[in-house]
Amino acid sequence: MSPVGVKLVCPLCRATVVDGAEPSGGACPGCAARYAGGGDDARGGVAAAIAAWGVAGIDADRAGEGLFRLLPDDPLNAQVTVTSDRRDGYYRWWVFVADGVDPATALAAAEAHAS
């Protein structure tokens, strides 16, 4: 699958993070949020982000579920969120953690929202 046309927009500030290249993790040019992931689904994105950041003790299934269960007005949405990029074919999923937020702390808080 050609990476041409891939677009990843920061879910925290709406800046365009990647446009036309294959995302590989890094920081948002708009708000400095860190992002990682690239899984084929939300759980895979969370698992890849956990691996990229070296976070221990987080269950990717539960953290991913917890992120989806957050209500729109939950303040945790401003700290950690999962989003998909846009591309032809299957999109990939990325976790964004706001600048200054510890990924381990934020993902543990997300995991606590799982059923």
Q: How far is the CB of 32 from Zn ion (least distance, A)?
A: 7
Is 28 a binding residue for Zn ion by CB under 5 A? The answer is yes
Residue 31: CB minimum distance to Zn ion, A? 3
- Residue 104 binding Zn ion, by CB under 5 A: no
Report the residue number, 53 or 96, with the smaller CB distance to Zn ion. 96
What's the min distance (Å) between Cβ of 16 and Zn ion?
9
- Residue 67, number of CB atoms within 10 A of its CB: 26
Instruction: Tell me the DSSP string of 39-104.
Output: ESSHHHHHHHHHHHHT--S--HHHHHHHHHH--TT-GGGGTEEEEE-B-SSS--EEEEE-TT--HH
Which residue ranges make up the site for Zn ion (CB under 5 A)?
Answer: 10, 12-13, 15, 28, 30-31, 33
